[in-house]
Structure 1
Amino acid sequence: MEDAEALAQRALDQFDGLIAQGGGLRPRAGQRAMAACVATALAHGAPGQVAADGQGPRRLAVVEAGTGVGKSLAYLVPAITVALQRGTRVVVSTATVALQEQLVRQDLPALAARLPTPFRFALAKGRGRYVCRLKLERWLGDPHGADAGEGDDDLLAPLDATGAAARLAWLHARADDLAHGRWDGELDSLPQPPEPAWWAAVAADAASCSARHCPLYGGCVYFERRKELVGAQVIVVNHDLLLATLGTRQLPEPDQCLLVLDEAHHLPATALAQWSCRTGLTRLAWIDQLSSRMLRVAQEVECDAVADVPEAAAQLRAALQELARLAVQTWGGALRHGEEPLRVRWPLGRVPDGWEAPLRQGGQAAETLLAALRALGAALRGAMREQPEEARRLAQLYAQLGTLAPRLEATSDTVRWLAHVPEPGQPPLAKWLTLVPPAAGGDGSVRVVAHASPIQPGALLRARLWPQVRAAVLTSATLTGGGGRFDFFLREAGLADDADVSTLAVESPFDHARQGELVLAGVTADPRDLPAYQQAVQQALLRDLPGVRQGALVLFTSRAHLRQVAQALPPELRERVLVQGELPRAQLLQRHRERVGAGQPSILFGLQSFGEGLDLPGALCADLFITKLPFAPPDDPVGEARAEWLRASGRDPFLELVVPATALRLQQWVGRALRSEDDRARIVCYDPRLTATGYGRMMLAGLPPFARRVVVQGARVPAAAPEVEA
């Protein structure tokens, strides 16, 4: 086998050869430096060569590649070259399905047409993005008896008669589209995103899937897509799917492939979301449904594992009811009809008095039910093998049990985590409750949901992901916060002090001082006085937005503030504004492109999701307005719990966590302005903290070196920034 140094050189030569072909590609020193780093890391790591003690060749490269470097090409060419030579595969993980599809529909086809050695690539999505034909059949055959998943989300009201009828009509339409080839069964190919409850009714999921035992397996959309993965050398996934499938063999395991994590700055937050849990303490009819179905199935397959099910179900219901009673008794007095839900976090994750016994009872009962459920599932699969003529009916029974299985698993996990007491010196879990006030016209009851989550993403990733990884690249445009130091990201990602990790920061090729201007137009109001600050920013926008001549993006940190400003716009200005959420994202952006293409001004109002991953080149974002520094929401319970623990440990959470995270987010927002070396843009920031505070000046120093202009507070920002010589 070719040694690592020679293989790394071969991969870099392949990259150089591709660039030399031209065809729109041109040499960039930063891109080549990144390609060399990727080639070295992946060639020296050795998937599949882990010794018994867990040691072996292992390399991880962390690369910050500024906007415009061309990082996709810089990691794809070396990774594919090394994989083909080593006879392994590349798993590319990115932040969202939209970014996955960009790689599969644009970047990889273009690359496959240019590389001398052919390769295959495929897109992998989670089961829940595909329709389950068996569920769809069941709903259409018996819409009143197929309500196993009704009310799974305890923060959503159940469907009324009108909503149920609309859902059934939608399901009939989808079944017809599927039957006549007008729809391929994927959520992402629907022209309009459906209501979450409608899709949840028929979405595929592992718990209710009998796989090869299903009578509709031959036409299963999910498994047909999975066949595409078998012969693919490059598989494109997202971070959620990567973490959710660890150890399941649905994807190549991390120790058997080359791993590329694009948009890696999202990985820590994804890990926290993936490994958190929640369950409803009210709306417990599902427990009785599960118990009765388990008993009925046990009779069908002659399984004797359900003897304790009725008692365990009663105990679980009683325990959850007691927990809900304690919650309402302690905190329900603060609830009022029509108000927002109340969230109550347990300080330092400590269990309140009186909660230990019901938590213990609920945990034991849930474990008893899970054990019986697993035994029933095995018995049903066996019966399907032995009685193929009964497969359809048995698969429906399996699906009925499986629809409720995730609720039981979530309840078991949440109750266990709520009762968890950390070892001395270890961080607590974040634990909190959501109390939803009675709805008008409802039964007058308060709904209660319990939540639990780890607070340190680095510890999760260090325990569950990195020990399996032998060769990986983590990359993003924002990993250092502009200060050149990777410390914060490495801690958050669980890679601090890892001897196998190397880092590289590659600057953007843009001439920021010539191409862009940063206008520091801080308003006079103090951001801590939220009403006054929002009013001041609103006045500034009403003053400055009429000067927009091409495309503009206005980024808000609050949906309420966004709506407030949108409602205050005069009619002639409101006609130019497109507000996130008023149309599906694709339609909104298409309308924006059409307006700008026709020479008309068009202004997008957006939130955090528009501040990242939104590609608006050229005139589509000639002006970028930042209404407020993008601090995380102050009421995030996981962030609150982590800050509380750090303070209790004598540390400063604001400087240690909040400022670095905000600096990275601000870099992402500013990155919407320039997307190519030909772009020109103006960035306007109204937050006075960027220049008036020490941490703000630190964030400012980490931004690209745009030409800067300070506008006297209250003065109009000029309609167009003059081109500034470098």
Structure 2
Amino acid sequence: MLNKETKERIQALYRECIKALGLKPRLGQRVMIAEIAKSLGAVHEDEKGARDNQAGIAVVEAGTGTGKTLAYLLAALPVAIEKEKKLLVSTATVALQEQILDKDLPNLKKTISMPFNFALAKGRGRYLCLLKLDKALQHLSGLLSTVDLFEQSPEEKDRELFEGLLMKYGSGQWDGDRDRLPEEIEDSQWSHLTATHRECSNRRCPHFQNCAFYKARSAMEEADVIVANHDLVLADLSLGGGAVLPAPDKTIYVFDEGHHLADKALNHFRLEAGVRAQRQWLQQLEKGIEQFVSAAGIPHGLMHSLSEAPQNIRDVLQAINLVWPLVMDMMGDQEKLRFEDGVMPENLRQLLINMKSPLQSLLMCLDKLNDMLQKSLDPKEDSDFTRDVAEAWQAPMGIMLARAEQLSEALSWLCAQEAEGALPVARWLSKVPFGDSWDIRMSASPIAVADQLRKNLWSRCYGAVVTSATLTALNSFGKLSWETGLPEWATYERVMSPFNYPELGELQPVSLASDPKSDQFQGDVEAWLKKEIDLSRGTLILFSSRAQLEATRDTFLSDWYDQLLCQGFLPKAEIVRRHKERIDAGQGSIIFGLASFAEGIDLPGNYVTHVVIVKIPFAVPDDPIQAAISEWLESRGRNPFMELTLPAASIRLVQACGRLIRTESDHGRISILDKRLLSHRYGKLLLDSLPPFRRIS
């Protein structure tokens, strides 16, 4: 039970915000605050600080306009400060993360009487590594012969950029965060300036005191509120928690855009290995070890394993050379090949198993070598190598160790055989670009992450809030609960939007002559758009496929040239900027967008008064993970369309409809050009899950 003092503090802070920000008190916002506070207040700890009950997880679907960010901050922050926990707010998109960091938290800090600090948490790869920048500049000046196992030395054309970044960082004009650079920087350029955890020598680095990443980590340690993204949270949890972010038992998590959590987790646990890519880096490693031994010799502690390393590499390469023609034959002309029930053909599986033993020996050798090189950077340690050798070789060997670890983990998933009755692992092959040619990538992924999230997150965290405008599917939390493994003690609440939808907007299910499966559908869509789109207004047209978007663009480009903005032909931010500029000037503007424009885009008022959804956003039918889940459901006599496909489409459809009404003064129309909403029985389920717009025909 929330103690009286904390409850009164939350209520007082809410009144302060309402008054200072000139907001109207909203019933839904108050309900959300109360539910979150009640859930977190039910957590009890023993004298050692260990949680002694199963409470503290609130799942709140908050309709558009609820003011959910303010609600969860006001409910959770006082509890976090009182209990000496960190409040970690995690988002799925950069847009929401920036809004929370640049607008919501600064406004709250200025408004309420309770002092707090906040900081942004990002992965190491988003920050400048001074050591690598220094090495790149020395290499360009001819002062350093950089060891380069990847044949990608810094280029002379980048010298001016690198020198400018060093000056900006040294003068304090830039904090080393890639995302805060005023200009874009190519991945190929940034790769010379940032370090992976295996390349980083941590406190042994001569630049440690000025390190951008560790400065950010230090600021995070002082913060009461930490803003991160789902990917970083999942990466930290997979390392045991507390590796980059605060430990779970010291943290109250808020997963905003929580409907993405399961998909993000699935992507995080997916492992893959390109056949040609693996062959390339192993060949580079063989060459690199030869160079290393020539330059540094073989220390006594590595005499046996390092002398065997070339043969281990050749053994792995021999197996890979046999894998390539086999997978090529399996693929044929297909772009993707999924193995039924996740069972890999035994001849391919045996070839992959043959790699494991020599790879394990190689992995142990690289791990020990990396550790020796790390220690040789520290003047306080007994050195196996000179400092020059350690500085030259530690980073490239660290990268090679990381690649060996990734391959070893991928092989474990690819070769494993699940116990009878256990959830299968999805396994598949796919053709992917590789240089000027292509590669075949072998992939493996669990089909569900509920057990991992239950074990690593829900059972360990002090408390958690999962929120979004779309957590239910077909008016049920069942899909979310199953996919994310939410525990039975979690509490669920739906907070309705304060918007009066019947007065603000209308919903038009359009019955074209054909449905999306017909060849006639594209022509019917174009005919309807030509007749119904008002070129003087702000319009958002959402497509489910890039091919259809581009085909429609080709049809209308000449007639709509002054109004049309298409995703894929301009950056997303530039499309939004130009669109707003045109509407502000009293002109019309039309956006053709895909899935990323159906969610997270905020175009209030006249910026969008007509949203057109070309068809029901069903998932791509050839997605191997979704296909594996469907196969597993069918094997148990269940209906994958009703349990998986339709609920997922419902969430995406609600998100797309949410682009129309963003404030209480907005108005407009949503048109859905998919007659299946009216002709199929499931159409009523989809329509009933949408906001209650006034229905028109």
- TM-score normalised over the length of structure 2: 0.91
Aligned residue for 1:517, secondary structure, equals strand
194-203 or 504-513, larger mean C-alpha shift? 194-203
> Identity, % of aligned pairs?
36
Instruction: Rate the CA distance shift 1:232–1:436 in 2: closer, same or farther, 3 A.
Output: closer
- Distance in 1 of aligned mates of 2:577 and 2:229: 25
- Verify the 8 A CA contact 1:631 1:658 in the aligned structure 2: yes
305-314 or 383-392, larger mean C-alpha shift? 383-392
Instruction: Rate the CA distance shift 1:438–1:189 in 2: closer, same or farther, 3 A.
Output: closer
- Partner of residue 280, structure 2: 285
Structure 1 segment 433-472 matched on structure 2, within 5 A: 433-436=429-432, 447-472=439-464
Aligned residue for 1:574, secondary structure, equals coil
568-577 or 18-27, larger mean C-alpha shift? 18-27
- Verify the 8 A CA contact 2:502 2:694 in the aligned structure 1: yes
- Partner of residue 220, structure 2: 229
Among 639, 643, 655, the alignment partner of 1:652 is: 639
239-248 or 570-579, larger mean C-alpha shift? 570-579
Aligned residue for 1:386, secondary structure, equals coil
- Verify the 8 A CA contact 2:146 2:392 in the aligned structure 1: no
- Partner of residue 590, structure 2: 603
Structure 1 segment 135-534 matched on structure 2, within 5 A: 135-142=132-139, 148-149=149-150, 169-170=157-158, 172-181=160-169, 183-246=174-237, 247=240, 248-283=242-277, 284-294=279-289, 296=292, 299=297, 303-304=301-302, 305-332=305-332, 334=333, 342-386=335-379, 394-436=390-432, 447-481=439-473, 483=475, 485-495=476-486, 498-529=487-518, 531-534=519-522
Instruction: Rate the CA distance shift 1:618–1:357 in 2: closer, same or farther, 3 A.
Output: same
- How far residue 172 of structure 1 moved from its aligned partner, in angstroms, is 4.1
Aligned residue for 2:244, secondary structure, equals coil
Q: CA RMSD for the aligned pairs?
A: 2.6
- Verify the 8 A CA contact 2:62 2:469 in the aligned structure 1: yes
- Verify the 8 A CA contact 1:7 1:82 in the aligned structure 2: no
- Distance in 2 of aligned mates of 1:318 and 1:521: 59
- How far residue 186 of structure 1 moved from its aligned partner, in angstroms, is 2.4
188-197 or 20-29, larger mean C-alpha shift? 188-197
- Verify the 8 A CA contact 2:13 2:112 in the aligned structure 1: no
- Verify the 8 A CA contact 1:478 1:668 in the aligned structure 2: yes
- Distance in 2 of aligned mates of 1:263 and 1:692: 32
- Partner of residue 63, structure 2: 66
- How far residue 147 of structure 1 moved from its aligned partner, in angstroms, is 5.0
- Distance in 2 of aligned mates of 1:259 and 1:373: 37
Instruction: Rate the CA distance shift 1:343–1:15 in 2: closer, same or farther, 3 A.
Output: same
- Distance in 1 of aligned mates of 2:368 and 2:659: 53
- Verify the 8 A CA contact 1:262 1:476 in the aligned structure 2: yes
- Distance in 2 of aligned mates of 1:109 and 1:301: 55
Instruction: Rate the CA distance shift 1:85–1:353 in 2: closer, same or farther, 3 A.
Output: closer
Among 86, 91, 95, the alignment partner of 2:92 is: 95
Among 688, 694, 704, the alignment partner of 2:691 is: 704
- Distance in 2 of aligned mates of 1:47 and 1:618: 48
Structure 2 letter corresponding to 1:670: C
Among 551, 564, 576, the alignment partner of 1:564 is: 551
Aligned residue for 1:21, secondary structure, equals helix
- Partner of residue 717, structure 1: none
- How far residue 276 of structure 1 moved from its aligned partner, in angstroms, is 0.6
598-607 or 354-363, larger mean C-alpha shift? 354-363
- Partner of residue 122, structure 1: 119
56-65 or 613-622, larger mean C-alpha shift? 56-65
25-34 or 411-420, larger mean C-alpha shift? 411-420
Structure 2 letter corresponding to 1:41: S
- How far residue 117 of structure 1 moved from its aligned partner, in angstroms, is 1.6
Instruction: Rate the CA distance shift 1:598–1:20 in 2: closer, same or farther, 3 A.
Output: closer
- Distance in 2 of aligned mates of 1:404 and 1:587: 39
Instruction: Rate the CA distance shift 1:171–1:222 in 2: closer, same or farther, 3 A.
Output: farther
- Verify the 8 A CA contact 2:130 2:207 in the aligned structure 1: yes
Structure 2 letter corresponding to 1:539: A
- Give deviations 1:240-266, integer Å, cap 9, x for gaps: 000101225211111111111111000
Aligned residue for 1:654, secondary structure, equals helix
- Verify the 8 A CA contact 2:583 2:606 in the aligned structure 1: yes
- How far residue 458 of structure 1 moved from its aligned partner, in angstroms, is 2.0
- Partner of residue 666, structure 2: 679
- How far residue 706 of structure 1 moved from its aligned partner, in angstroms, is 0.4
Structure 2 letter corresponding to 1:30: G
- Partner of residue 539, structure 1: 527
- Give deviations 1:589-645, integer Å, cap 9, x for gaps: 111111111111111111111111111111111111111111111111111111112
Structure 1 letter corresponding to 2:377: M
Instruction: Rate the CA distance shift 1:651–1:201 in 2: closer, same or farther, 3 A.
Output: farther
Instruction: Rate the CA distance shift 1:7–1:699 in 2: closer, same or farther, 3 A.
Output: farther
Aligned residue for 2:161, secondary structure, equals helix
- How far residue 395 of structure 1 moved from its aligned partner, in angstroms, is 3.6
Structure 1 segment 20-35 matched on structure 2, within 5 A: 20-35=18-33
- How far residue 142 of structure 1 moved from its aligned partner, in angstroms, is 4.1
Matched, 1:16 2:7: no
- Verify the 8 A CA contact 1:59 1:471 in the aligned structure 2: yes
- Verify the 8 A CA contact 2:331 2:429 in the aligned structure 1: no
Aligned residue for 1:317, secondary structure, equals helix
Structure 1 segment 19-58 matched on structure 2, within 5 A: 19-46=17-44, 56-58=53-55
- Verify the 8 A CA contact 1:14 1:81 in the aligned structure 2: no
185-194 or 417-426, larger mean C-alpha shift? 185-194
- How far residue 49 of structure 1 moved from its aligned partner, in angstroms, is 7.5
Aligned residue for 1:634, secondary structure, equals coil
- Distance in 1 of aligned mates of 2:369 and 2:46: 36
Structure 2 letter corresponding to 1:285: Q
Aligned residue for 2:427, secondary structure, equals strand
- Distance in 2 of aligned mates of 1:660 and 1:138: 52
- How far residue 409 of structure 1 moved from its aligned partner, in angstroms, is 2.0
Structure 2 letter corresponding to 1:550: R
- Give deviations 1:632-687, integer Å, cap 9, x for gaps: 11111111111112112221111110101110111111111111111112111111
- Distance in 2 of aligned mates of 1:672 and 1:479: 17
Structure 2 letter corresponding to 1:419: C
- Distance in 1 of aligned mates of 2:692 and 2:481: 25
- Give deviations 1:286-325, integer Å, cap 9, x for gaps: 1132245456277376541534322221122122222222
- Distance in 2 of aligned mates of 1:687 and 1:399: 55
